[in-house]
Amino acid sequence: MDSFYAIARNTCLSLAAAAAVIAGLRLFQKWNRGEEVEGMIFIWLIGILFAGGIVVMVDNFIVGGAYVFFTGISGTAEGLSIEIYQASLLLGIVITIVGVIKIYRKFQNGEEDIYEYMLKWFGSLLFLFSMGYLISAIL
């Protein structure tokens, strides 16, 4: 039976591949309609590379122990999971500040979709903070 990490890794890679195919089909449809897609293709390719890079980094640095090899700091997977959790909290704080600024600007401009934007922003924060717990559970 596969480990929980292997199942989670394969699931994430499958979801990322499905999202890339769907986004590629949408870009193809826009291209056929004659719309500008050069910038979107660039962002699409960056997203695919980013998803693959994250998987490689997790495999090599967290699971594979390359972190200890490169830094010389003897750490366990438990220590790394705590560091990753703290990094995700720090990233969450930065995203929170940026989101609050965007919501304030929308409010000042009198836009009507503030409530919908706030719900999306709150959902993304919940996902981000839960990632630290998921990484701790995997390791």
* pLDDT tens digits, one per residue of 74-124: 555 555 666 666 666 676 677 777 777 888 888 888 887 788 888 887 887
Residues 2, 37 within the same domain? yes
Residues 36, 60 within the same domain? yes
Q: In total, how many domains does the chain have?
A: 2
Is the pLDDT at 139 greater than 70? The verdict is no
Tokens (6 digits) for 139 = 């390791």
Predicted pLDDT at 47: 83
Residues 41, 81 within the same domain? no
Task: Name, in order, each residue with C-beta under 8 angstroms of 101's C-beta and a sequence gap of 6 or more.
Answer: none
- For residues 58 and 108, the answer to whether their CB atoms sit within 8 Å is no
**CA neighbor of 47 nearest in space, from 30, 82, 23, 71:** 23
Cα–Cα distance measured from residue 75 to residue 5, given in angstroms and rounded to the nearest whole number: 19
Is the pLDDT at 71 greater than 60? The verdict is no
Regarding predicted confidence, which is higher, 23 or 60? 23
Predicted pLDDT at 1: 43
The answer to pTM > 0.75 is no
C-beta neighbour count of 80 within 10 angstroms:
20
Predicted pLDDT at 65: 59
Residues 59, 120 within the same domain? no
